[in-house]
Amino acid sequence: MKVVGIIAAGGRGTRLCSDKPKQFLTVNEMPILAHTLLTFSKCTNISEIILTAPEGFKKVTEDIVDAYDIKGVTGVVTGGADRQETVYLALKAIDSADIVVIHDAVRPFVTADLIEHSISAAKIHGACTLGVPVKDTIKVCGKDGLVLSTPERKTLWQIQTPQAFLYRVIKEAHDYAHADGYCTTDDTGLVEHIGLPVKVIMGSYANVKITTQEDLLHFQND
């Protein structure tokens, strides 16, 4: 069974207010991207890795792969206007695959076990995502800041990556969204849009995405 990993590293990290994309920031003497890639490259079930890069940063990305001797990277694809388009471009660069595992480059705390669990779940369910139950009460508010509703907390999950899919499922979902002009914030949302089920499996509260300065400090102090 051929499993292809897609590392979504096409973003520019504007919320971090950095002068370069956050995946290239150095933490513990390595770029964040390298931390993530090394974990994926050591997973025996990952056959190859397709890596995306922001426009103008393809060479920088390739240099990181070479500098840290990342095994299994078969291509670096320049990303699109947003994450969804970036992943779609990576999917189209895959020659063949049975399962695709999609992961955010700036989730460097991912473990091999989490990746393996997502692959196993995709084999059974066709589409799966890691997630963790929310710890706090969530409020739905209007534009005026007034509360509209309070969802029952036990039904709410905070979604993470990796997200894993049968290749035919995620390709169909992306093809349909591209033709339909449908956009959402993650790849499982595209699968939901075509009416197919998505399994949520337990992730890890440590598997955080580096989005803000506070997240970066957490990584530096880890």
Q: Are the C-beta atoms of residues 222 and 26 closer than 8 Å to each other? A: no
Task: Please count the other Cβ atoms lying within 10 Å of the Cβ belonging to residue 98.
Answer: 15
Give the residue numbers spanning the domain of 8: 3-220
**Count of domains forming the chain:** 1
Q: What is the pLDDT along the chain (222 residues), one digit of tens a residue?
A: 999 999 998 766 555 556 688 999 988 899 999 999 999 999 999 999 999 999 999 999 999 999 999 999 999 999 999 999 999 999 999 999 999 999 999 999 999 999 999 999 999 999 999 999 999 999 999 999 999 999 999 999 999 999 999 999 999 999 999 999 999 999 999 999 999 999 999 999 999 999 887 777 777 666
Place of tokens 């920088």: 60
CATH number for the domain spanning 175: value is 3.90.550.10
CA distance linking residue 102 with residue 18, whole number of Å: 25
- The β-bridge relationship of strands 26-27 and 99-104 is unpaired
| Rounded to 5°, angle at Cα 142 from 140 and 143 | 135
CA distance linking residue 33 with residue 201, whole number of Å: 24
Q: Are the C-beta atoms of residues 118 and 162 closer than 8 Å to each other? A: yes
For 45, half-sphere exposure in the C-beta direction (CA atoms, 13 angstrom radius) is 17
Residues in the chain: 222
Please list, in sequence order, all residues whose beta carbon lies within 8 angstroms of the beta carbon of residue 67, skipping any fewer than 6 positions away: 34
